[in-house]
Structure 1
Amino acid sequence: MFTGIASTVLSQTVGHYLGTGERTDGVLVIALLLNIALIMIGWRRHSDLAGEVRERTEAEARARALAARDPLTGFHNRRSLADEGAAMIAEAVRRNKAVALMMLDLDHFKSVNDMYGHATGDALLCAVAAEMMQIAPTGALHARLGGDEFAIALIFDPRTPDMIEHYAERLVHRLAQPFEAEGQRLHISCSLGIARSDFGSATVEALMRAGDIAMYAAKKSGRNRLAWFDQSMELELRVRNELEEGLRFAIPAGQIVPYFEQQVELATGALTGFEVLARWEHPTRGVIGPDQFIPIAEETGMIADLSLSIMQQAFVCARDWDPALMLSVNISPWQLRDPWLAQKIIKALTETGFPASRLEIEITESALFDNLALAQSIVGSLKNQGVRLALDDFGTGYSSLAHLRALPFDRIKIDKSFVTSINEAADSVAIVTAIVRLGESLNLPVTAEGVEDAAIAERLAAMGCAKGQGWHFGKPRSIVGVRKFLRERGLIAGIPPENVALITSRRRAG
């Protein structure tokens, strides 16, 4: 239509100017102009719609990118790792190769956020990501799974896994070096677990689970290291999870009970008190040592309830002992983060009627680094009630004189790792001697742990060490066993065995 009208109008216009006498029809001119206007409007609308479609397409592309990428580092996120990882596994199968997945967790990253703020923490994560990209082989798939946890996937020849281990070792080594972030010089490390698709982990989900188990094993064995996944790790994790579930029932049921290890004056052999140790009297597994369940209790936050339960049972058991006998109780570093810890201990003392002056709280030096001011507040409240304070495992940490001055310690305890080798290792002799001399100069008596035989006890006494504890003086005793031991020596101030009956009935009721 537009073409017909336009040709007629144009021919009439041309004829008019050539003098043929043919005049242009006004109606046709108007029709032509209307057609032109409609075309222009249509074209404008078409352009606008095309722009909207283009913007929507770009927005959708950005949304997909944001959904697939970590906004801080630009790495893949957990969801896109699953998709990209599945494609990588499929490609590896076609090429008769395998996929290695490394799960990586930064050690002590939380302390960076706590001390310097999240802006510094984010800058550190970006710096770590840049180093990972710098070291990574071509074709590596990087992902940030959240927080300070990363994953790296690689295709490799299963006949030469050394390439993967070499890369992992380089990464672990580099992340242990200082980083500069927001003007701060930061020291971290990483724990890294490796799983491979040709060893029973044929899916991304299975690879991530196996790599996570291996990473946990690396962290448990001391951090700043790598570990390859093997089936024994999965069995160990299953046992750990079973212990965790059992622990949630065992604490309120009274299955976690105190055992008592003698503390003896080395010069005279006189009994001065006991250290309270935790044992799990499991209904089917028998007695479980603290090394198996205390770390789980700390990791899961159950340590506070566990420790208070042990203290209450021990206080009830010991309140009618000879007044000269002390009780030493170890406090976990996790408990020293609780600003109400002193009040909880004082409440347990009050409810059980155990004298605060007969209680000695043991803390390790490493526990003071998280929050020295809070530790000073807790210790001050306890000292005001007459509770004594011992520095445990001295010699294994920083052994800082500043900490000995910062808190009002009444005693130093030497770690058993030095004591047990005192008659074989010259360096152990030197360390124990130095600690004993330090104690003398500060008027702090010294207790040595791990006294396993008479020769060690005699050597420590000759050095001037005040007290000792260990299996040379007898194995730790249960509530019933320690009461029988003390009764035979006339060290229980009256008998009513209601104390023992009360504890036993509580445990049975649980």
Structure 2
Amino acid sequence: MRTLGQPQLAAALGVVLAGGVLAALVRAAFLQVRRRVRSRRSLAASLHALDHAHLRLVAAVDNMSQGLCMFDRDERLVLCNARYREMYHLTGPAARPGILLADLLRERAASGTFTEDVDAYRLHLRDALASGRRIHLQTELPDGRIVAVVNQPMPDGGWVATHEDITERQRALWQIAHMARHDALTDLANRLLFSERMDDALARLRLTGDGFVVLTFDLDLFKAVNDSLGHPVGDGLLRAVAQRLRDAVPSDCTTGRLGGDEFAILQPAGLMRRDAAAALATILLAAIGAPYDIDGNRIEIGISIGIALAPDHGDDTSTLLKNADLALYRAKAAGRHCYRFFEAEMDAEARMHHVLEIDLRNALSRAEFELHYQPVVDIASQRPCGVEALVRWRHPVFGLIPPDRFIPIAEETGLIAPIGEWILRRACTDAASLPPDVTVAVNLSPIQLRSAVLVETVQEILAEAGLPASRLELEITESVLLQRTSGTLGTLHRLGALGIGIVLDDFGVGYSSLGYLRLFPFTKIKIDKAFVGEMGQRSDCAVIVGAISGLARALDMKTTAEGVETADQFALVRAAGCTQAQGWLFGRPVPIAALDFSETPLLADLPA
């Protein structure tokens, strides 16, 4: 039997089924089969597209920078991405679909990324989701990472949560906020933060009555250190001071750098705030006053501290800071490296300070300065061997003003340079008219010593006055010796090489160091009057004077005992080995015309 091909089969069927109902039925069945075939092909294509879309979705979710997880209304995990598992150190089974939220949190606790109470956290979250609004949370993990979590409710009762590691961003924000309220150099509170803390303290004062203390202080002679050793060393010194403050100041205090070398401390205190402030100030004087080694430079400084009590000395930030500053000025005037409490009369003194500062700017051009001279006596012969030039300001309103009232103002304003040069020029001119064996001593400001043309200026003045260099003595204080620079040392050596005497004034107080006597070419040491005045009452003062005198002899230096006021004191300094003496016993400072250089010993009744 021959097999029919498709054309033949179709033709045969067409013949057989050419008419009638049977043909219609067959045609309908054929169309239905064709539609089914097409439907199956469409379904396969749809399934293929769906699989492809699913793969793309999985890839997108797993490559998100945020962790993502979805929970159904029964708190079962529907899905979570790879970033979520990575963030919380979870393995695949630990974050499997279907796991309950509580169990997932316990898995996180086991991995060290969850420390809260599981049930409390779950109940709080469900209560918050019930409101239907998005929930933002921020948490810090035990390893220090900071994670922001956003929970978004879904209509079916479930929710989607995203977890983002914002550690770097948050730390940057914290750093910006910190920088806005802290000093960049020392990391102490800046003026803004310090003022905010004072406002807070004042608010507590009004609410509870708890008082507090404000201490302000700056570094004595910081400008000299900064100018002579350079700003990097100055900055290093400020950082070292800040570290000492962190070590010394109690943690409940606020320590701030208000600018330059100006610092302040806010100290909580009760009824005994005056005693508490005095105790803290004493600690600060010792801690900050100890020597520093900054980049190989040994630096010795001190601080002057002003103290204001709240509410005793003010009930607002501005008044308290102003009054603490006034007390600071009083501490400086008292000799530095000490503390003073605010007193009401300081306000009047501040106004006077301002008036003097204005008038001082014109005093030189108005010829209001004059020099007085105090004799210096040779102890062996009891005759004058020199004079010290002491400037006075004859103010048109306030009369004769002593140097301790206006020299600090001159140094603050920079007027000391022209005033100092005038003093030196006038003293040399006056000394030229004195007996040829009489020397003249002139005090030299640290600011003058930093001048690059000081040596040339001194040479010019000596030449104009016709005064031999050997008859001029330049007195410097120990503050100059803080500037251990080649420039300072070179200037002193050059002055000494001219034959000028270099005198160390007020030795024995302040920052005294025997190393200075080796580093600098001194020809004389002046022993501070504080030791001389106590020699008759305190044996230790007599020992110190004797030791300084003996040391000077060994170094081929002369010694002048300052502040000799009685014959007994003269006898004591002579017995201690001092070579010269100065004080009211031999005469007060007087104008040049009133000096007496007669041959009669000033103390003829004492045995030679």
* Alignment TM-score > 0.5, same fold: yes
Preserved contact between residue 257 and residue 281 of structure 1 (Cα < 8 Å): yes
Change over 3 Å in CA distance of 1:297–1:97 after alignment to 2? same
Deviates more, 1:441-450 or 1:335-344: 441-450
Q: Structure 1, residues 23-57: CA drift from partner, whole Å, max 9, x if none?
A: 99xxxxxxxxxxxxxxxxxxxxxx9xxx9xxx999
Distance 1:214 1:325, change over 3 A: closer
Give per-residue Cα distances to partners, 1:430-454, cap 9 Å, x unaligned: 4444444455555544443333344
1:161 aligns with 273
Higher alpha-carbon deviation: 410-419 or 287-296:
410-419
CA contact (8 A) 2:427 2:442 kept: no
User: What whole-Å deviation, never above 9, does each CA across 1:228-276 have from its counterpart, x for those lacking one?
Assistant: 3332333333333333333222233322211111233344444433221
1:322-333 mapped onto 2 (5 Å cutoff): 322-333=435-446
Pair 1:248-2:248 in alignment: no
Q: Secondary structure at the match of 1:252?
A: coil
Query: Is 2:185–2:239's contact at 8 Å kept on the other side of the alignment?
Result: no
Aligned to 2:590: 477
Match status 1:273 vs 2:386? yes
Larger radius of gyration: 2
Deviations 1:92-148 (A, max 9, x none): 323344454333545676788748836744653553464367x222xx555432344
Match of 2:133?
A: none
Q: Which has the higher helix share?
A: 1
Distance 1:454 1:389 in 2: 28
In 1, Cα distance between the equivalents of 2:502 and 2:225?
Answer: 30
Q: Which amino acid is the alignment partner of residue 251 of structure 2?
A: A
- Superposed, 1:393-472 pairs within 5 Å as 393-396=506-509, 403-457=516-570, 460=573, 465-472=578-585
Tell me if the contact between 2:255 and 2:264 (Cα under 8 Å) persists in the aligned partners. yes
The residue aligned with 1:295 is: 408
- The aligned amino acid for 1:379 is L
CA RMSD, 1 decimal: 5.1
Give the letter aligned to residue 468 of structure 1.
Answer: A
**Is it true that 1:362 corresponds to 2:478 in the alignment?**
no
Cα–Cα, structure 1 residues 384 and 150, in superposed 2: closer, same or farther, change >3 Å? closer
Q: Secondary structure at the match of 2:391?
A: strand
Deviations 1:371-406 (A, max 9, x none): 364344223333443333334334446776654454
Q: Quick check: 2:428–2:465 contact (8 Å CA) kept in 1? A: yes
Q: Give the distance between the partners of 1:470 and 1:476, measured in 2 at CA.
A: 9
Q: Helix, strand or coil: the match of 2:393?
A: strand
| SS of equivalent residue, structure 1 residue 360 | strand
**1:345 Cα shift?**
1.4
Pick closer, same or farther for the CA change 1:288–1:72 going to 2, 3 Å.
closer
1:136 aligned residue (251, 259, 283): 251
Q: How far does residue 309 in structure 1 lie from its aligned partner after superposition?
A: 0.8
Query: Could you tell me whether the CA contact under 8 Å between 2:306 and 2:328 is conserved in 1?
Result: yes
Aligned 8 A contact 1:106 1:190 in 2? yes
C-alpha distance in 1 between matches for 2:245 and 2:555: 49
Change (3 A) 1:423 1:67: closer
Matched residues in 1 for 2:38 and 2:374: separation?
129
Alignment check: 8 A CA contact 2:274 2:309 kept: no
- The aligned residue for residue 95 of structure 1 is 208
Contact kept in structure 2, 1:72 and 1:126, CA below 8 Å: no
Cross-structure match for 2:183:
70
8 A Cα contact 2:478 2:511, kept in partner: yes
Give the equivalent residue in structure 2 for 1:6: none
Q: Is the 8 A contact 1:416 1:450 kept in 2?
A: yes
Q: CA deviation at 1:370?
A: 1.8
Partners of 1:311 and 1:329 within 8 A in 2: yes
Task: Tell me which residue corresponds to 1:337.
Answer: 450
* C-alpha distance 334-90 of structure 1, shift in aligned 2 (>3 A): same
Say if 1:321 and 1:167 are closer, same or farther in 2 by CA, change over 3 A: closer
Q: Between Structure 1 and Structure 2, how many residues are aligned?
A: 465
Residue pair 2:356, 2:406 contacting (<8 A) in 1 also: yes
Per-residue displacement from partner, 1:285-309 (whole Å, max 9, x unpaired)? 2222222223333344333322221
Q: 1:292 to 1:440 in 2, by over 3 A?
A: same
Q: What is the CA–CA distance in structure 2 between the aligned matches of 1:182 and 1:319, rounded to whole Å?
A: 45
Q: Does 1:377 align with 2:490?
A: yes
Mapped contact 1:276–1:314 kept (Cα < 8 A) = yes
The answer to whether the 8 Å contact 2:376/2:387 transfers is yes
Alignment of 1:108-257 (within 5 A): 114=229, 117=233, 120-121=236-237, 123-124=239-240, 127-128=243-244, 130-131=246-247, 135-137=250-252, 141-153=254-266, 157=270, 159-161=271-273, 164-165=276-277, 168=280, 172=284, 175-176=287-288, 191-199=304-312, 201-221=314-334, 226-257=339-370
Distance 1:405 1:164, change over 3 A: closer
Partner of 1:202, secondary structure, is coil
User: Would the alpha carbon gap of residues 194 and 351 (structure 1) be closer, same or farther in structure 2, given more than 3 Å must change?
Assistant: same
Determine which structure has greater relative contact order: mean sequence separation of CA pairs < 8 Å that are 6+ residues apart, divided by chain length. 1
Task: Show structure 1 runs of 5+ residues with no match.
Answer: 1-15, 25-46, 490-510
Shift of 1:411: 3.8
Shift of 1:480: 4.1
User: Which stretch of the first structure deviates more once superposed, 252-261 or 268-277?
Assistant: 268-277
Letter in 1 for 2:280: A
| Cα distance in structure 2, aligned partners of 1:90 and 1:71 | 28
The letter of the residue matching 2:450 is R
CA distance in 1: counterparts of 2:541 and 2:326, whole angstroms? 36
Q: Is the 8 A contact 1:82 1:205 kept in 2?
A: no
- Cα distance in 2 for partners of 1:150, 1:206 equals 17
In 2 relative to 1, CA 106–131 (structure 1 residues): closer, same or farther, beyond 3 Å?
A: farther
TM-superposed CA distance for 1:407, in Å, is 4.4
Q: Conserved in 2, the CA contact under 8 Å of 1:337 and 1:371?
A: no
Deviations 1:169-206 (A, max 9, x none): 58637834979999999987654433344235232222
Comparing 241-250 and 67-76, the one that deviates more: 67-76
Q: Secondary structure of 1:194's partner?
A: strand
Q: Deviations over 1:339-360 (max 9, x none)?
A: 3222121122223333333222
Q: Is the 8 A contact 2:331 2:339 kept in 1?
A: yes
Change in 2 beyond 3 A, CA 1:217/1:470: closer
The amino acid that maps onto 1:233 is M
* Separation of aligned partners in 2, 1:173 and 1:436: 29
So what's the TM-score if we normalise by structure 2? 0.60
